[in-house]
């Protein structure tokens, strides 16, 4: 596989030394960067060596006459522009300052072929300098033959998209190279030209198709007559076909380098010098992940990223820019396959439109797809990004400190002491150290007391652990991990006593947390919180042999009339599920008084006729019946 330097050297050698009087072809799938390479790399390099290059797209051309005219205008107008670009302002150009200013800015680029000139611009410039652009087909041949094509490279792009018959084009090229000695580079997606009768739409690699058509006699496909004719004339006209397969990383690097955004330069300068993955490798990883290799989409993403951040007045952190840029890369690649992508919902769209590592922000979607920008959205998301990155750094440091503590007896005292101090500081932020680590951490903290000088820091850590447990909203998994965890065997009786006391305090904190959640019921939102608490702490309440005894029954009765029928139904289901066990009289008898209080209150709501919605009223009646049944079962014990 050639890189860009090798490919350019190959084409220069063809231009300078080839004696075959044949064309060469560059072929590759759409979107792989063939045009980008021709216009931004090859043309620039040939211009440095004073070679003229005429780049003409066959797309939309319908006759050879139009092709001749395009080549003529490309070469004649560029020659004129090249002369003008090297001169200062003169009387002739003073009559059109607007045109002169454009030429001063773009003349050298246009003359070298590194800027893509549209037909309208070329005609306007050529007409201004008395280059004839309106002439008959009869006169065209005279004009065309007046051009000296020696030392020039004619590049004909989009061979497969031409409106001119492919056989006619190949015959035209054959005359150029064989009769006139012109150097021609054909650029095509040959997979769209080589067709078989039995599977005309089959997607194969373009070179593989040609090999199967010519070489593999046993499995030779049935080619169309047009394809057979094309292959025959190609064998005579083109002596070498190069599969364009420039490394994606190299192509991405050249694309990003072509933009002036300062953040792109920072990303490229970072490379791997600071241990970070190069942005080009990251972009290629995204392309591989999505299996979409469209360099036009990469160019689109770079342009959108540059446009977006040019609108942001605040300073942008480079890590944040990289994250947003990569999400735009992913979105642009997806759009290249399906332009109808839309934001579905905030839960899934960031990942469905970006990739898991680089989710797409809503404000970025609005800018790219809907051309809408609100600057504060970019600032807010950057603030959230920075906060998250700081948290991740703390979590990584805390993880390392935990590992030091867990392997304390193969570390030095200074290392262990430093780790304990780090843990103590980070326990102030409940999001840094996972609560599921608290049980194991407490065990090890007690074990390492004997190997550090200042043991007060251990006691302070234990206090913070207990405070965090009591204030957190714990789920069943966290509660189980606090009670059942691995650890280190404690040697001395005083260590075992201290650990047993610490474990009891953990259980007390967990119970107080659950009771607090049950007792704060004032409205319908409190009822919803109660349902969630019962569902997520089912095991904890069973182990405590109580549920209803901890619920603020008065607050619940006050809130029920304002609840929806669905909420009451869900509450009934949660309570009935808890009291479903057959032997509740043995271990839940302490809830009987609270349940009787709830039954009386429900009946009073029914009797007072304060609920007008009949569906809600029916749910209350069912609830009262459920509670009555539970009380009956408790009394049976």
Residue 230 maps to a domain: yes
Co-location of 191 and 143 in the same domain: yes
Residue 401 maps to a domain: yes
Residue 27 near residue 207 (C-beta atoms within 8 A): yes
pLDDT value at residue 377: 86
Co-location of 579 and 619 in the same domain: yes
Co-location of 342 and 357 in the same domain: yes
Domain finish residue from 479, 514, 549: 514
Nearest CA among 218, 210, 301 for reference residue 252:
301
Residue span of the structural domain in which 509 resides: 387-514
Domain finish residue from 243, 271, 291: 243
Domain finish residue from 341, 373, 405: 373
Co-location of 295 and 427 in the same domain: no
Residue 27 near residue 190 (C-beta atoms within 8 A): yes
- CA 130 – CA 93 distance, rounded (Å): 13
Residue 378 maps to a domain: no
pLDDT, mean of each 10-residue run, the chain (637 residues): 84 91 89 80 86 88 85 69 52 47 46 36 42 49 58 88 91 88 91 69 48 50 84 91 80 88 88 69 92 90 94 89 95 94 88 93 93 87 89 93 95 95 94 92 94 93 92 78 86 93 87 61 82 76 77 88 93 89 78 91 93 93 93 81
Residue 382 maps to a domain: no
Co-location of 424 and 564 in the same domain: no
Co-location of 346 and 426 in the same domain: no
Co-location of 357 and 394 in the same domain: no
Distant-in-sequence, close-in-space partners of 395: CB < 8 Å, separation ≥ 6: 432, 433
Angle between helix 166-174 and 225-237 (nearest 10):
10
Nearest CA among 296, 290, 295, 310 for reference residue 360:
290
Co-location of 15 and 107 in the same domain: yes
Residue 45 maps to a domain: yes
Distant-in-sequence, close-in-space partners of 469: CB < 8 Å, separation ≥ 6: 435, 438, 482, 506, 509, 510, 513
Co-location of 276 and 237 in the same domain: no
Number of domains the chain is built from: 4
């Amino acid at each position: 596989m050639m890189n860009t330097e090798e490919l350019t050297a190959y084409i220069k050698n063809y231009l300078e030394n080839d004696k075959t009087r044949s064309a060469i072809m560059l072929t590759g799938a759409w979107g792989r960067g063939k045009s980008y390479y021709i216009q931004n790399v090859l043309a620039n390099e040939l211009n440095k060596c004073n070679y003229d290059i005429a780049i003409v797209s066959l797309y939309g051309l319908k006759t050879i006459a139009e092709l001749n005219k395009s080549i003529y205008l490309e070469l004649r107008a560029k020659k004129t522009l090249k002369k003008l670009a090297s001169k200062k302002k003169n009387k002739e150009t003073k009559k059109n300052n607007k045109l002169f200013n454009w030429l001063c800015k773009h003349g050298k680029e246009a003359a070298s072929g590194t800027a893509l000139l549209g037909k309208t611009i070329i005609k306007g410039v050529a007409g201004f300098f008395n280059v004839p652009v309106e002439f008959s087909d009869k006169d065209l041949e005279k004009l065309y033959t007046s051009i000296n094509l020696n030392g020039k490279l004619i590049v004909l792009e989009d061979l497969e998209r031409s409106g001119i018959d492919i056989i006619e084009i190949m015959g035209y090229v054959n005359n150029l190279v064989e009769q006139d000695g012109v150097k021609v580079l054909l650029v095509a997606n040959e997979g769209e030209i080589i067709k078989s009768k039995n599977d005309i739409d089959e997607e194969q690699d373009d070179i593989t198709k040609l090999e199967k058509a010519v070489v593999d006699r046993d499995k030779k496909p049935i080619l169309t007559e047009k394809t057979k004719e094309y292959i025959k004339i190609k064998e005579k006209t083109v002596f070498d076909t190069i599969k364009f397969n420039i490394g994606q990383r190299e192509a991405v690097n050249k694309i990003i380098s072509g933009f002036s955004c300062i953040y792109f330069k920072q990303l490229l300068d970072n490379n791997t010098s600071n241990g970070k993955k190069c942005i080009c490798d990251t972009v290629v990883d995204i392309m591989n992940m999505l299996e979409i290799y469209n360099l036009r989409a990469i160019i689109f993403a770079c342009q959108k990223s540059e446009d977006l951040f040019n609108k942001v007045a605040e300073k942008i952190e480079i890590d944040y820019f990289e994250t947003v840029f990569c999400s735009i890369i992913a979105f642009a690649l997806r759009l290249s396959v399906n332009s109808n992508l839309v934001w579905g919902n905030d839960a899934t769209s960031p990942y469905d439109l970006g990739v898991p590592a680089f989710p797409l922000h809503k404000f970025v979607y609005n800018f790219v797809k809907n051309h809408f920008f609100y600057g504060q959205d970019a600032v807010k998301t950057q603030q959230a990004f920075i906060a998250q990155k700081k948290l991740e750094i703390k979590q990584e440091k805390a993880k390392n400190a935990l590992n030091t503590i867990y392997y304390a007896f193969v570390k030095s005292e200074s290392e262990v002491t430093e780790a304990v101090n780090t843990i103590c500081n980070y326990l102030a932020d409940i999001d840094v150290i996972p609560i599921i680590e608290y049980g194991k951490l407490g065990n090890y903290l007690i074990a390492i007391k004997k190997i550090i000088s200042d043991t007060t820091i251990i006691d302070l850590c234990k206090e913070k652990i207990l405070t965090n447990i009591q204030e957190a909203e714990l789920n069943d998994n966290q509660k189980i991990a606090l009670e059942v965890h691995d650890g280190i065997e404690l040697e001395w009786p005083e260590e075992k006593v201290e650990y047993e006391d610490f474990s009891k305090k953990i259980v007390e904190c967990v119970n107080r947390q659950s009771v607090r959640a049950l007792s704060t019921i004032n409205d319908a939102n409190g009822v919803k919180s109660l349902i969630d608490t019962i569902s997520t702490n089912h095991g904890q309440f069973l182990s405590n042999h109580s549920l209803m005894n901890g619920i603020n029954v008065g607050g619940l009765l006050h809130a029920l009339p304002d609840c929806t029928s669905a909420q009451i139904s869900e509450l009934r289901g949660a309570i009935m599920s808890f009291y479903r066990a057959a032997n509740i009289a043995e271990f839940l008898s302490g809830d009987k008084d609270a349940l009787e209080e709830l039954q009386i209150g429900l009946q009073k709501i029914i009797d007072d006729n304060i609920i007008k919605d009949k569906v809600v009223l029916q749910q209350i009646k069912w609830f009262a019946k459920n509670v009555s049944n539970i009380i009956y079962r408790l009394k049976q014990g």
